[in-house]
Chains A and B, each alone.
Chain A
Amino acid sequence: MLIDKGFTVVRPLAGGLDAWADAGFPLEEIVIE
Chain B
Amino acid sequence: MTRLVHYVIVYGVPLVFLNVLAEQLGAPIPAMPALVVAGALTRNGQMSSTHVLIAAVIASLIADYIWYELGRRYGYRILRTLCRISLSPDSCVRDTEARFERWGLKSLLIAKFIPGFSTVAPPLAGAARQSRIAFLLYDALGALLWAGSAVAAGRLFFRAIDRVLLAIENLGYWALLLLGSALAIIIIMKWMQRVQFLKQLRLARIAPGALKDLIDTGASPVVLDVRTPSARKRDTRRIPTAIIANTDDIEGQLRHLEPNTEIVLYCT
**Interface residues of A, Cβ cutoff 8 Å to B:** 1-2, 5-23, 25-30
Contacts and interface: CB of A to CB of B under 8 A. Distances in A.
Interface of B: 201, 204-209, 211-212, 225, 227, 232, 235-240, 244, 247, 250-251, 254, 257, 259-268
A15 to B, nearest CB: 7
B265 A25 contact: no
Contacts of A18: 268
A21 B211 CA distance: 13
Given A12-B266, A30-B238, A6 B259 contact: yes
Given A16-B266, A16-B267, A30 B244 contact: yes
Contact of A27 (B209, B227, B240, B251): B240
A17 B266 contact: yes
A15 B239 CA distance: 13
Given A11-B205, A14-B208, A30 B236 contact: yes
Nearest to A29: B236
A17 B268 contact: yes
Given A2-B250, A7-B263, A13 B205 contact: yes
A29 B63 CA distance: 39
A5 B238 contact: no
Given A2-B250, A23-B212, A9 B262 contact: yes
20 contacts: A2-B254, A5-B250, A7-B257, A9-B261, A9-B262, A10-B204, A10-B263, A11-B205, A11-B206, A12-B201, A12-B267, A17-B225, A17-B237, A17-B238, A17-B266, A19-B207, A19-B208, A20-B239, A25-B212, A29-B236
